Chain A
């Protein structure tokens, strides 16, 4: 580990801390209808949209109506994407003449992008037309993010309101998320990316002749090895910059190219890389401040932020440490960082970013359910790879996906308040709202769904041939690959322990359903919880009230998050990455 590495990580955290309040205040203003500097531009567009769609922006929705609106919108969007992917050969902007996606892959991709997961069982540059990328995938990057933010805001309203039947209007929250929160930043950032070298064009791919042709050995179907001369290279193009901004800012993570943010056309410089990481946390971090502002307890917002930041710091420390230590089996090879080399485990990492930045990126992208990568998590050391896995097992609540991170964390807050609240001798209260049987039931349900999906799909896949077919490394690493796939899809992250052959019927269908169920099933009890909280009276705070603003509360919250996920996944983890690590130390690798 180097001073420079720690400087990058510290600088990152400080910037996140600094932007939390401005982002939070801005979003609070947007969603409570206060004036913002963007109103002159955005307000007329918003009015026009409502006028065209017949939305009554003053209409307040009961939680059931809110949920139905959200689900209907998602279903229609998903069908649209499925149709685009199935018919892209007839649609414009397809210079490479890519054919339609097979039904299972189209379903998997449509489900994955609708749910803000962006699990990619395809390679963008060899599968997707520019039209599919722009009108299909980038569109979903915006709307799935906006949906997440809307749900989070509705939940916060549920906490803040007293004795109300409604939690807001989905269409309004959704439209405002797009027009005020997502689009303006993406516009600016996309231009910045272009200035750094990210490509933005509609040109067909370019075939160029190599200055220095290479000879490689290829194993043919008959098992014989033959040498082959490579003298040309295909250079892809596309409208990348515009998609790259929302990919990070909306914690979507679906790369234009298969290599994702490790590809120089997506992420050309260390500066763009740093900006990308900041974009992942920006909204999620700001939303904690919005929570504090809208509920009138700013310190509670910071306590939640503190719990998230703590988990982030611990995880980035262990990821960085594991990667910087390198591979113990490479005896006699210097793996210490020096002026001439980055040191550590560089397998699967971009030399442009190095160890610290790759560890930071991996931690952030899995803390927040982004799933973009700038290094192959599969090639991390066992313990380094454990961190992304654990981050997702927390349920994507360490800042988390836009909106989803906050409402996911608030479910843990409700559970923490309930368990520990009893210990102060009162019916547990959360910001004045009594936490009762119904609330506990809904909170438990949403936690249960995630564990259920992940464990069941993993269990099926590790004992079936169609399941094990995806494994590229035997033993504990193979288990990690499958576990990672289902944790990633259920938690709507979308990154993979790559190397797996995921484009199969079983995985397309199972991960597709996993993303859908992992996103929309928990949201129903969560919105029900929000609706129920909104109905409650607010009990004024007293010396006997459970404090949700203190460091003690933040550590309790950390404890609940860690304990719940650790107890659920410890056996699987001990047979996966932990065992792999122990075996590696004993000299056995996979």
Chain B
């Protein structure tokens, strides 16, 4: 799936990340850090054991230390490479955190005291519920909610989007973020977070990996890896007695080498890097997830609730057609419609003016000379219009105009107009009646414009096994038509906030995981109920707190991308686990004959790679095992691409690549290393 928003993708290997990561790799050797990763901890213990044995051998002048030093070194490299992978992932996060941190410089806040006087205090001293004034040119000192006034705000520091946004009190665009700058006007802001808990702070912690907790699947996978590690530990420990029975006892170096090759070091070394990189990818798309758990849950989503407006359709309806009543000519209708809309600043109104101009060459007119009175839309009459030169032009919803035009109890609508209204409504459009002096002239067809590429996206979602449900306030007829055109699986028409909540609960009762995007305060309960709730940054504080993700760009379609990232995360882990375990087959074929061919030359039949010497075979396996970690760092950090081709096809594909590939690749790799070492006469 294509990226709708342009992720801020950084190059993978840059010196300012690689350099510190190399240092970190050594720092992470501390057993206390490594304990958290059972697989790599076993490798470290093994490395220490071989190091001690090596020193002892040197002191005792045991021959053959050339081999044992190389084994020991490569075992250490294995640990270091795994640490390096994790450090790389963290480094990329830190780089992003640094950019964010720049926005978090010390600002001066003008706090409103109880007696309405203003005092200046450092921004870092602000507590929740403090009230501050922010004027044009000043930075907003902390996360908060506008409680008075309206202002344009530059949020580029956190969103990367340079166009200013409007923030105003009340309504659904009241939340402001610390570190953003007010460009015009002055607002009164109620601070909503304590120092160190602001949005920016949380974001920095998340990208740096400091606040990272293991996700449920990661924990489960860790258990599996620990289990495998114990099994292989058992295999290697019990192999020595069996080897002694077979008159070919093995050295510690060989046994540890076998152990390290068998335990799943590839995935063990990359597991935490995959998790950190996954969070990083979410943040690159300007989505702030409150936890890794939320991102992982996104991959499991079964049902996606999408608001029609802004997500499926462009924000506004547009006039696309005029249908005149039988006794009226079209130009007359267009003229009346345009006049009625001249003062109408809504996008729909403007689109009527434009359509009349495009189709009939009617220019917008200056009506000041005509003694015109504009009648604005009111909830009571549900019409708007204009009175000029004795003409009384009105436009509005069919039932409102019908009521307006009805006199003497006669039905003002002729059959043709009725038919036109029905047709427009059933096609998903909105009919707008135009009347002059209580005589109906015709209908304006207002149409929802579905965003480009929407249908393809929903097809892909369907292939992923995700059902899309469109939420709209439209009537069922209109909703059905738009749903059909956009290709969503289902729709909820005439939806009130509580309907949304009920729908989510219904889906969840069926065992489904539901994701939704929302911005308004009335979305908050639904956002909280949904398993994945993506709140818009422009939305209210209540919505942001209820959801478990915030989109800084306030683009609801992001939900789909987050779902993909969640899936990618799991696929990458699963694929590398399979790869790691599949690798063991080749390693056995390298190491077992090398261990026992001295005592039983017949076992060389198992040396199907034709490795040169016993030492070279074991060393090649260990080197391959270490290098594969480094080789897979890019894959772990970028994630394996998710293809919406259905689970069965995806499984077949990944099993083929990472399962079968995992069996074959090390045969080739180990052989190559063996040949190379022959060239440079290492062993």
Grouping DSSP codes into helix (H, G, I), strand (E, B) and loop, the A interface class, with mixed when no group exceeds half, is: helix
In the complex the two chains form, what is the Cα distance from A583 to B296 in whole Å? 53
Interchain CA distance A578-B262 in the complex, whole Å: 20
Are the C-beta atoms of B596 and A540 separated by less than 8 Å? Answer: no
Please state if A423 and B578 are interface contacts (CB–CB under 8 Å).
yes
In residues 532-555 of chain A, which contact B (Cβ within 8 Å)? Answer: 537-540, 542-547, 550, 552
Sample of 19 A–B contacts (CB below 8 Å): A418-B220, A420-B655, A424-B574, A425-B568, A426-B567, A440-B220, A440-B221, A441-B227, A455-B235, A459-B240, A462-B242, A478-B245, A542-B466, A544-B464, A545-B465, A547-B648, A567-B585, A575-B243, A579-B600
**B599 shortest CB reach to chain A, Å:** 9
A550's closest neighbor in chain B, by CB? B648
**What residue of chain A has the Cβ atom nearest to residue B572's Cβ?**
A422
- The distance from the CB of A92 to the nearest CB of chain B, in whole angstroms, is 47
List chain B residues, Cβ under 8 A from A458: 238, 242
Question: Contact check: which of B243, B244, B575, B585 meets A423 at CB < 8 Å?
Answer: B575
Closest B residue to A462 by beta carbon equals B245
Could you tell me if B511 and A432 are in contact, using CB atoms closer than 8 angstroms?
yes
Residues on the B chain within 8 Å of A574, using CB: 592, 596, 603, 606
- B603–A423 contact, CB under 8 A? no
Q: Across the interface, do B296 and A571 meet the contact criterion of CB distance under 8 Å?
A: no
In this complex, what residue of A is CB-closest to B654?
Answer: A423
Contact A539 B511 (CB under 8 A): yes
Note all chain A residues with C-beta closer than 8 A to B245.
462-463, 468, 478-479
Instruction: Give the distance in Å from the alpha carbon of A102 to the alpha carbon of B188 in the complex.
Output: 92
Once the chains bind, are A545 and B512 in contact (CB under 8 Å)?
A: no
Select which of B217, B231, B581, B585 is within 8 A of A427 by beta carbon.
Answer: B217
Q: Does B51 contact A (CB under 8 A)?
A: no
Is the contact region of chain B dominated by helix, strand, or loop, or is it mixed?
A: helix
Cα distance, A543 to B244, chains bound together (Å): 54
- Contact indicator A425/B650 (Cβ below 8 Å): yes
Interface: B467 (CB within 8 A): yes
| Binary contact readout A548-590 vs B (1 if CB under 8 angstroms, 0 otherwise) | 0010100010010001001110111011001100110110000
**A540:B510 contact, CB within 8 angstroms:** yes
Asked if A575 meets B232 with Cβ closer than 8 Å, knowing A463-B244, A542-B466, the reply is no
Residues of chain B with a CB closer than 8 A to A529's CB: none
Give residues of chain B (481-512) contacting chain A, Cβ–Cβ below 8 Å: 510-512
In the complex, chain B residues whose CB is within 8 Å of the CB of A563: 581-582, 584-585
How many Å lie between the Cα of A378 and that of B216 in the bound state?
48
10 nearest interchain CB pairs? A544-B465, A422-B574, A425-B567, A444-B227, A542-B465, A582-B602, A459-B238, A423-B574, A543-B465, A462-B245
Q: Are B642 and A451 in contact (CB under 8 A)?
A: no
Give the Cβ gap from A528 to chain B, nearest Cβ, in Å.
14
Residues of B within 8 A of A (CB): 216-217, 219-221, 223-224, 226-227, 230-232, 234-235, 237-246, 262, 296, 299-300, 302, 462-467, 510-513, 566-568, 570-571, 573-575, 577-578, 581-582, 584-585, 588, 592, 596, 600, 602-603, 605-606, 642, 646-648, 650-652, 654-655, 658-659
* Cross-chain pair count, CB within 8 angstroms: 205
Structural contact, A476 and B574, CB atoms closer than 8 A: no
Which of B216, B242, B511, B605 has a CB less than 8 Å from the CB of A459? B242
- On whether the beta carbons of B655 and A556 are closer than 8 Å, the reply is yes
Q: How far is the CA of A544 from the CA of B467 in the complex (A)?
A: 10
Return chain A residues, CB-CB under 8 Å to B300.
Answer: 426-427
CA–CA, A441 to B226, complex, Å? 10
The answer to whether A455 and B234 have CB atoms under 8 Å apart is: yes
Q: How far is the CA of A433 from the CA of B600 in the complex (A)?
A: 50
Given known contacts A479-B246, A567-B231, A456 and B238 CB-to-CB distance under 8 angstroms: yes
A547–B302 CB distance below 8 A = no
Q: Are A427 and B596 in contact (CB under 8 A)?
A: no
Tell whether A447 is near chain B: CB-to-CB under 8 Å: yes
CB of A437 within 8 Å of the partner chain: yes
Kindly list chain B residues whose C-beta atoms are within 8 Å of the C-beta of A572: 238-239, 242
Q: Evaluate whether A423 and B658 lie within 8 angstroms (CB atoms) in the complex, with A455-B234, A579-B600 already known.
A: yes
Smallest beta-carbon distance A457→chain B, Å: 9
Contact of B602 among A537, A540, A586 (CB under 8 A): A586
With A415-B224, A544-B646, A571-B242 already in contact, 13 other A-B pairs whose C-beta atoms are closer than 8 Å:
A425-B566, A425-B570, A440-B227, A444-B226, A478-B245, A479-B246, A542-B302, A542-B467, A546-B651, A547-B651, A571-B592, A579-B246, A583-B600
